Amino acid sequence: MSDGADDPPGRTRCTWRATGSFRIDRAGRRAAAEAREVVAGLRGQGLRVALLTGDRRATGLAIASMVGIEAADVYAEVLPADKAATVAALQRTGPVAMVGDGVNDAPALVQADVGVAIGSGTDVAVDAADVTLLRSDLRGLLDALAIGRATVRTIRRNLFWASAYNLVLIPIAAGALYPLSSLPGWLRALDPALAAGAMALSSVTVVLSSLALRRVVADR
């Protein structure tokens, strides 16, 4: 790695010493702390986190140790052309999300089941990704994951209630209860006005359920 003398602001700066160790400046320590928080959050959700880098293995292991990634999950000295192949190999064990911000990451972002680009990254990476974090803060990955899961839960809940509504009320509207003389007349022969109101209520229920996602976004 370079000594960082010409690095743009916000980039991690590492300086190698003759002993093979390196030091990281204040911005790098802040980035490492953010990455460590994200790794801990992902692993706390039962997700496996790996580091894919073109740097030497010693560098990859040192960075992985700083952010809490297991040594067995470090893929170092990976050429740009081989990153997509590495992601494809990992996909044999399950879905893979790839986070990257460079031109060399673009093929791997496309190959992954979900490609996530950092907003401050290259245009190529942003175009190749499925999701773009608008801020240069990896913690946005946890936010995106929480919002995505809440969205899926909302979709499933809406489908359940919409299906249950139709399964119950369509037979009633078709006269399934008409032979039951013990029931009120308005229920045995469903009044069109009541049917219209029930349909509107179903739509309102789905909309209100979807609007609950705003609480998830606000909490993030």
Q: What is the pLDDT of residues 37-64, one digit of tens each?
A: 999 999 999 999 999 999 999 999 999 9
Is 114 or 4 the better-scoring residue by pLDDT? Answer: 114
The answer to whether residue 192 scores a pLDDT higher than 60 is: yes
Rg (CA), the chain: 26
Please tell me the distance from the alpha carbon of residue 68 to that of residue 44, in angstroms, as a whole number: 12
- 124: tokens are 């190529």
Residue 44: CA count within 13 A, CB half-sphere: 8
Q: Which tens digit of pLDDT belongs to each residue from 130-166?
A: 999 988 888 889 999 999 999 999 999 999 988 888 8
Angle at 199 between CA 196 and CA 205, to 5 degrees: 140
Please tell me the distance from the alpha carbon of residue 54 to that of residue 134, in angstroms, as a whole number: 25
